[in-house]
């Protein structure tokens, strides 16, 4: 059974000791992998790793987390983010590589605010860089891989101002109202192991809202992701996530929609090929 992990970071330092084993283990289980860059070096590294394997591809971009220097404490990763300015020429050169199928991870993030700044001070720079990613995606005829955290209304406004833009809203965790607006604009929604988590006691409705999206979304607009090494799905919670674990997200979608795992795998893989058309053309 072929299945597509459309958003993985298996080229990050968390896999430094066993990257080859992890990727081969995933490929052996029928998993196609899109390695996602988040800044200049990880974007370049995504291409270098993708070159080594059949069935592994890359996307290149600058994550909003790296537009400002700040302390980041995330699963499997604790670091001081390095501030980077978006170099359009550099990323365009990377995007010309035959293994590059998308632009991103890019987008808006108002979740972590660096000391001394406000969301209102961060947003203009984030929007400016995001628009540059959109321009690059349009020029290269590639889809966007979009990150959004605590900024859906701002992101929707930015996307509405653009034409001829396609892509995926990565790691979707919001409610149906926002999902419907992305659907209207033609976007896919990517789901990670988050959908396998139980509802949080402090806010159980958030998970119920997310499950509602999974149930209501047209099957031809769903993509599977791990976001590895982060967000390992149940029953692997607490471990480092790996691309082969994407099957657990597919199982949860099948459960929520009352359909077979085979149907979910086939549909989501077809969706990935439809969005990332450069794979088909090559």
Query: Residue 279 and residue 266: Cα distance in Å, rounded?
Result: 17
Q: Considering only residues 68 and 10, tell me which one the structure prediction assigns the higher pLDDT.
A: 10
Tell me what the mean pLDDT of segment 5-23 comes to. Answer: 97
Angle at 142 between CA 138 and CA 144, to 5 degrees: 90
The model's confidence at residue 259, banded by pLDDT at 50, 70 and 90, is: very high
Tell me what the mean pLDDT of segment 146-153 comes to. Answer: 97
CA 205 to chain centre: 24
The model's confidence at residue 76, banded by pLDDT at 50, 70 and 90, is: low
Report pTM: 0.94
Tell me what the mean pLDDT of segment 161-180 comes to. Answer: 96
Q: Are 164 and 140 in contact (CB under 8 A)?
A: no
Tell me what the mean pLDDT of segment 201-211 comes to. Answer: 96
Please tell me whether residue 280 adopts helix, strand or coil conformation: helix
Tell me what the mean pLDDT of segment 51-76 comes to. Answer: 83
From 190, 186, 130, select the one nearest 163 (Cα to Cα). 186
Predicted confidence at residue 80, as pLDDT, reads 57
Over pLDDT 70: what percentage of the chain? 95
Predicted confidence at residue 72, as pLDDT, reads 52
Predicted confidence at residue 177, as pLDDT, reads 98
Q: Considering only residues 163 and 216, tell me which one the structure prediction assigns the higher pLDDT.
A: 216
Predicted confidence at residue 75, as pLDDT, reads 47
- Pairing relation of β-strands 71-74 and 77-80? antiparallel
Residue 122 pLDDT exceeds 70 = yes
From 63, 101, 73, 76, select the one nearest 14 (Cα to Cα). 76
- Mind giving me the DSSP string for 153-189? HHHHHHHHT-SS--EEETT--S-HHHHHHHHHTT-EE
Summary mean pLDDT of the chain = 94
Residue 275 pLDDT exceeds 70 = yes
Query: Could you give the domains of the chain?
Result: 3-281 (3.20.20.140)
Q: Are 258 and 149 in contact (CB under 8 A)?
A: no
Predicted confidence at residue 116, as pLDDT, reads 81
Residue 163 pLDDT exceeds 50 = yes
């Amino acid at each position: 059974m072929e299945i597509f992990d459309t958003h993985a970071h298996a080229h990050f330092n968390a896999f430094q000791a066993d990257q080859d084993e992890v990727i081969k283990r995933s490929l052996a289980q029928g998993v196609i992998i899109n390695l996602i860059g988040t800044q200049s070096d990880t974007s370049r590294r995504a291409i270098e790793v993708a070159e080594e394997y059949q069935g592994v591809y890359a996307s290149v971009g600058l994550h909003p987390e790296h537009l400002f220097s700040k302390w980041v404490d995330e699963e499997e990763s604790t670091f001081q983010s390095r501030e980077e300015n978006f170099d359009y020429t550099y990323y365009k050169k990377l995007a010309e590589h035959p293994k590059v199928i998308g632009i991103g991870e890019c987008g808006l993030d108002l979740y972590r605010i660096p000391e001394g700044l406000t969301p209102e001070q961060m947003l203009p720079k984030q929007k400016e860089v995001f628009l540059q990613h959109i321009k690059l995606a349009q020029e290269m005829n590639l889809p966007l891989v979009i990150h959004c955290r605590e900024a859906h209304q701002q992101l929707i406004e930015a996307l509405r101002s653009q034409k001829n833009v396609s892509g995926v809203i990565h790691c979707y965790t919001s409610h149906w109202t926002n999902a419907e607006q992305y659907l209207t604009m033609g976007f896919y929604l990517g789901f990670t192991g988050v959908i396998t988590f139980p509802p949080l006691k402090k806010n159980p409705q958030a998970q119920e809202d997310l499950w509602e999206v999974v149930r209501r979304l047209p099957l031809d607009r769903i993509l599977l992701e791990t976001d590895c090494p982060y967000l390992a799905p149940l029953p692997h919670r607490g471990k480092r996530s790996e691309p082969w674990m994407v099957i657990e997200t597919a199982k949860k979608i099948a459960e929520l929609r009352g359909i077979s795992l085979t149907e979910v795998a086939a549909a989501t893989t077809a969706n990935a090929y439809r969005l990332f058309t450069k794979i088909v053309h090559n």
